[in-house]
Chains A and B, each alone.
Chain A
Amino acid sequence: MKTFIKFLFSFVIFIVTWWIIQYLTKTPSYILPSPYIVLLSIMNNLDLLIYHSFITFYEILIGFLLGIIFGMYTGILFIISKSTRRWLLPFIILTQAIPIFAIAPILTLWVGYGIWSKIIMTILIIYFPITISFYDGLKRIDPMIVNLAKLMGANTFTMLLKIRIPFALPQLSSGLKLAAAFAPMGAVIGEWVGSSKGLGYLMLYASGRVQIDLMFASIIILAIFTVTLYNIVTVVTNQLTKWDPKSHLN
């Protein structure tokens, strides 16, 4: 609740600053529309915005969840299998070296115009931070704690579930927060490259028709969604890492 109020406060300050700048510089609204005009645009195009938002949100959420699953799975694989780490890690770094914009058209070509090319884009963008942060967390455990659990009779599975994974949660949390901030980018880039629906498409559409107010409306909605996703992830990870004083600066 506190987080939400703080977030709301920053948001209001942002809007007011924007308004003041627009008012003082008298920038024409086809370059920088005032918040009021954007609000009007949101009201007027509510159905359109809701329709396209839900498609983008859906892509982001599915991509986000799948990316977390794949990333965590890879992190665990890296810990339990030395050869996987050796063979797969360079390949994963390679996927990050290729600009995501370059992959987007190929993906559209391969998996088509629909939502799956966007979901895969999202997965590709968040897979790396999640894998690396989780793997780093998993390997950072005190080896004597692993030994202690071995002496207590833990098998590989209980060792992972009860010892290694909980220990890696603070690091994984950083990865999850990065992922929450990056995930929308993946979906929107996917939509820019080729789609007929979603907020990314709507932005291109509005920009092509010089409906700058509608473009700003799309951006604002995407920004609010991203911040909300980030805050939800923060609340969840704070719960998971309650025990770690280092994860909670006041």
Chain B
Amino acid sequence: MIKSSSFSLHGSLWANKDKLFSNLKLNIKFNKWTIIIGQSGAGKSTLLKIIANLNIPDTFTNNIYKNTNIDLSFSWMAQNDLLLPWLNVIENVTLGQKLRREKINLNKANILLEKVGLINVANHLPSTLSGGMRQRVALARTLMEDNDIILMDEPFSALDTMTRSKIQKLTWSLLKEKTVIMVTHEPLEALLLSDNLYYIHNKQLKPIKLPKTKPLRKINSENVLYCHEYILKLLKKSYTL
């Protein structure tokens, strides 16, 4: 379906009178993970919403346009898993088909639940699951939709350290072939997962040079640790309290 190998974003974004992005340029490569690091309130989530054509609050003004001639479909994964509390796990995974009144593909849903290791709780309500499990349900739901682009808004930030690392690995292994745009404020997470990495500096997106190794990078390699230090230094300069 997707013919070109990338699409790009251009434009500026204001919140009230404050400029958040000025002449933003961002190139998104298909089938790669693009990650943006930035401070809270820097407009990261709003940028994702603009990419997905979602409504943003009236306080924002934006003239960002997408340089693409194909109709892209989007999935959304956020810190809050956005599961519907009255639907059980399998119903949440198949929600998209139900909303579009399509035939529900239970077979595929079961295979995906197997992949994320939740087949034994398929009939449980989200409120009975742990945060990590809920995020895995959200992952299965994303896979079920199989959209062109997956937008991730700090998807792992609500999880404890051990769970986060496991879910990062699982998410990466299941979505590595996909086009992912993620925003985060975790430099290490960004470093381990990204094919292309940017940080927000002076209302622009600046690329960060990554180690030559491919994701999923290992935290214990020297290159990665060195790069982590480097990113922290960069961010120190761009962050304001």
Contact = CB atoms under 8 A, between A and B. Distances in A.
Contact of A150 (B54, B80, B84): B54
Given A144-B76, A147-B52, A152-B96, 6 more contacts: A144-B82, A152-B95, A154-B99, A154-B100, A158-B100, A158-B101
Contact of B76 (A148, A162, A163, A166): A148
A142 B101 CA distance: 23
A152 B84 CA distance: 14
Interface string B13-49: 0000000000000000000000000000000000001
A9 interface: no
B125 to A, nearest CB: 6
Enumerate the 5 nearest inter-chain pairs by beta-carbon distance, A residue then B residue, closest first: A243-B86, A152-B96, A154-B99, A153-B100, A147-B54
B149 to A, nearest CB: 10
B214 to A, nearest CB: 29
A149 B99 contact: yes
- Indicate the member of B52, B73, B84 with the most A CB atoms within 10 Å: B84
Interface of B is mostly: loop
Interface residues of B, number: 24
Interface of A: 142, 144-145, 147-154, 158-159, 162-163, 166-167, 169, 242-245
Given A144-B78, A158-B99, A243-B125, A151 B86 contact: no
A9 B86 CA distance: 34
B98 interface: yes
B127 A162 contact: no
Contact of B98 (A145, A162, A242): A162
A96 to B, nearest CB: 31
Contacts of B85: 243-244
B74 A151 contact: yes
Contacts of A243: 85-86, 125, 127
A142 B76 CA distance: 14
B75 interface: yes
B122 to A, nearest CB: 16
B145 interface: yes
Nearest to A152: B96
B14 to A, nearest CB: 20
Given A152-B96, A152-B99, A158-B99, A142 B125 contact: no
Contacts of B96: 152-153
Contacts of B127: 243, 245
Nearest to B128: A245
A154 B98 CA distance: 9
